[in-house]
C-alpha cells in the first residue's frame, strides 16, 4: 500500500505540473501572420505510406505556389519506435516540433501477442507531447440528413494515465480518469465557438455524469455554465449509453449538430458515427492545440494488407478527409470546400471508381486521379 501511495503521489504531481503549463500557454497560432507554413508529412507504417502519399498529392495540387512548404518526417514506424523503446523517438519529436501542422498516417500500436514491445500509442503520445487537446471529427452524410461534428477532449480522461495504472498486491488493479479545469473549459469553449462561427444552433454534451460523478459531473457542470455565454445556441446533454442508441435512431439523429465529450466516450462515439459514411476507413480527424495541429486517419495501420501485398488498394479517403480539415485549419477554406464536395461526389453520387481493398477495386492512386479530375471539373 505504501508503494501504491508513492506512485499515486508522483502521478498527481505530474498532472498538477501539466495543469500549470496549460494555464501558461494562451496564444493560438495565427497562420495568416506566418511567412511560411510548414506541413510535416509523417507517413507512419502499415498502409500509412500508401494512403498518406495520395493525400499529399491532393494537398500539393491545391497548395502549389502558396506559402506552404512540405517537410518529410521519417521513422515514426513501429520498427524504429521499438528499437528506441519510445512511442515517439526523441529525434522524430524534434522534427515534428519544427512544423506548424502535421499530416500523419496510421501507426501500429502493439497489443498482447504482437512481436513488438509494449510501447505507448504514437497517437496518444503525440497528443500529449504537442498538447493537441481537441480531437475534431466531422461526419457528413447528406442523404441521411447527417451533418455532425464531434469535439472530443484529447489529452485527459481515461487516456491521460492510460499506461500508468498499477496493481496492489496480486488481486487489485487500478487505472485512473483525470480531468482538469483548464482542459475541460478549453474543449467546451472550442465546441461552442465553432457552433457560433458556423451557424450551428445546437451543442450536445455526452457524459456518464450520473455514475462518474466527480470527473464527468464537473465536465457537465462546466458545460452548462459556459453555455450561458452563448444564449443563441441550444444546449442539451445525453449519457453515453443512450447516445449510442440515438445515433442510429432515424427520427432523432438528424437533430444533432455539434457534440462535445470526454476522451473515452469521444473515441467510441466517433467510430460509431463514422459507420454512417462508410466506416472508419473513410473518416479523418483533426487534433488541434494552441501551437500545433495534427491531421490523421482514425483507423489503424492494417499490417495484414501490407503482408498480403494489397497496400496499393488501401482507401485514401480517410487521409483525404483529414486533408480537408487541414486546409480549413490553415485558412484555405475554398479549397477545403472543394475537396469536401469532390469526396462526396466520388464516394456517394457518381462512384465511377470504387475502393474494395483488393484487386477487385481501384488502387489508391487511381482513386486520387479521380478525385483531382472531379475537383478540376468543379473549378470550371
The C-alpha atoms of residue 95 and residue 78 are separated, in whole angstroms, by 17
Q: What is the pLDDT of residue 53?
A: 98
pLDDT number for residue 278: 80
Mean pLDDT of 253-266: 96
More confident residue, 363 or 22: 363
Domain at 34-132+289-380: CATH architecture: 3-Layer(aba) Sandwich (3.40)
DSSP string, 318-334: HHHHHHHHHHHHTT-HH
**pLDDT at 109 exceeding the cut of 80:** yes
Mean per-residue pLDDT over the chain, rounded? 92
Per-residue confidence (pLDDT) for residue 4, from 0 to 100: 81
Percentage of the chain beyond pLDDT 90 is 73
Is the four-CA dihedral 72, 76, 80, 83 of positive or negative sign?
positive
Instruction: Provide the pLDDT for residue 114.
Output: 80
- Range from 22-36, 292-306, 324-338 carrying the lowest mean pLDDT: 22-36
- Beta strand 37-42 with 68-72 is parallel
Any idea which of 111-120, 206-215, 361-370 has the lowest mean pLDDT? 111-120
Q: Hey, where are the domains in the chain?
A: 34-132+289-380
259 pLDDT more than 90? yes
pLDDT at 10: 86
- What is each CA distance from 105 to 76, 258, 298, 317, in whole angstroms? 9, 26, 9, 12
Q: Quick one: cell of 222? A: 462546466
Q: What pLDDT score does 116 carry?
A: 85
Query: What is the C-alpha to C-alpha distance for residues 265 and 158, in angstroms, rounded to an integer?
Result: 9
In three-state secondary structure terms, 230 is coil
Q: What is the pLDDT of residues 95-104, one digit of tens each?
A: 999 999 999 9
Is 55 within 8 Å of 316 (Cβ atoms)? yes
- Residue 342, pLDDT > 90, answer yes
Question: Which H helix or E strand runs over 188?
Answer: helix 181-197
Give the number of other CB atoms < 10 A from CB of residue 324: 28
Can you say whether residue 148 is alpha, beta or left, with left for phi > 0 and alpha for psi between -120 and 50 degrees?
beta
Report whether pLDDT(158) > 90: no
DSSP strands (E only) in the chain: 37-42, 68-72, 101-104, 134-141, 146-153, 166-168, 172-174, 202-207, 234-239, 258-261, 284-288, 293-297
State the pLDDT confidence band at 12, using cuts at 50, 70 and 90.
confident
More confident residue, 151 or 24: 151
First to last CA, the chain: 71
What is the per-residue pLDDT for 101? 97
Cell numbers standing for residue 197? 462561427
pLDDT (tens digit per residue) in 41-60 = 999 999 999 999 999 999 99
140 has pLDDT over 90: no
Of the pLDDT bands very low, low, confident and very high (cuts 50, 70, 90), residue 25 is confident
**Residue 324: pLDDT above 90?**
yes
C-alpha pair distances (Å), 227 with each of 187, 189, 204, 217, 350: 12, 9, 10, 16, 41
Q: What is the pLDDT of residue 104?
A: 97
pLDDT digits (tens, 9 = 90+) for 72-89: 999 999 999 999 999 999
pLDDT band at 167 (very low <50, low <70, confident <90, very high): confident
Q: What is the mean pLDDT of residues 317-336?
A: 94
Q: Give the percent of the chain with pLDDT over 70.
A: 100
Q: Per-residue pLDDT for 6 more than 90? A: no
Amino acid at each position: 500500500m505504501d508503494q501504491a501511495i508513492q506512485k499515486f503521489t508522483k502521478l498527481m504531481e505530474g498532472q498538477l505540473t501539466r495543469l500549470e503549463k496549460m494555464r501558461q500557454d494562451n496564444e493560438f497560432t495565427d497562420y495568416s501572420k506566418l511567412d511560411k507554413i510548414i506541413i510535416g508529412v509523417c507517413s507512419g507504417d502499415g498502409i500509412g505510406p500508401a494512403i498518406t502519399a495520395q493525400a499529399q498529392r491532393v494537398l500539393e495540387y491545391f497548395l502549389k505556389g502558396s506559402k506552404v512548404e512540405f517537410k518529410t518526417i521519417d521513422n515514426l514506424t513501429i520498427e524504429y519506435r521499438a528499437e528506441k523503446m519510445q512511442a515517439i523517438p526523441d529525434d522524430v519529436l524534434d522534427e515534428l516540433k519544427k512544423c506548424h501542422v502535421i499530416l500523419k498516417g496510421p501507426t501500429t500500436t502493439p497489443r498482447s501477442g504482437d512481436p513488438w514491445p509494449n510501447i505507448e500509442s504514437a497517437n496518444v503520445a503525440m497528443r500529449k507531447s504537442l498538447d493537441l487537446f481537441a480531437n475534431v471529427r466531422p461526419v457528413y452524410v447528406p442523404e441521411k440528413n447527417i451533418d455532425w461534428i464531434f469535439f472530443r477532449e484529447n489529452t485527459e480522461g481515461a487516456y491521460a494515465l492510460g499506461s500508468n495504472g498499477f496493481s496492489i498486491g496480486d488481486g487489485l488493479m487500478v487505472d485512473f480518469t483525470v480531468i482538469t479545469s483548464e482542459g475541460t473549459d478549453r474543449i467546451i469553449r472550442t465546441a461552442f465557438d465553432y457552433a457560433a462561427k458556423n451557424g450551428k444552433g445546437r451543442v450536445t454534451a455526452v457524459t456518464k455524469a450520473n455514475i462518474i460523478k466527480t470527473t464527468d459531473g464537473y465536465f457537465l457542470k462546466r458545460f452548462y455554465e459556459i453555455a450561458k455565454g452563448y444564449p443563441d445556441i441550444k444546449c442539451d446533454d445525453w449519457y453515453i449509453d443512450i447516445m449510442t442508441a440515438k445515433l442510429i435512431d432515424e427520427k432523432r439523429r438528424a437533430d444533432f449538430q455539434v457534440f462535445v465529450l470526454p476522451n473515452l466516450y469521444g473515441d467510441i462515439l466517433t467510430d460509431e458515427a463514422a459507420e454512417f459514411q462508410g466506416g472508419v476507413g473513410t473518416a479523418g480527424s483533426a487534433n488541434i492545440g494552441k501551437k500545433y495541429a495534427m491531421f490523421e486517419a482514425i483507423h489503424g495501420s492494417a499490417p495484414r494488407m501490407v503482408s498480403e501485398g494489397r497496400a496499393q488498394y488501401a482507401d485514401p479517403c480517410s487521409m483525404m478527409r483529414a486533408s480537408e480539415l487541414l486546409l480549413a485549419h490553415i485558412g484555405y477554406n475554398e479549397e477545403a470546400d472543394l475537396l469536401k464536395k469532390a469526396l462526396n461526389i466520388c464516394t456517394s453520387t457518381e462512384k465511377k471508381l470504387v475502393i474494395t481493398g483488393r484487386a477487385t477495386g481501384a488502387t489508391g492512386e487511381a482513386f486520387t486521379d479521380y478525385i483531382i479530375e472531379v475537383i478540376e471539373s468543379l473549378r470550371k
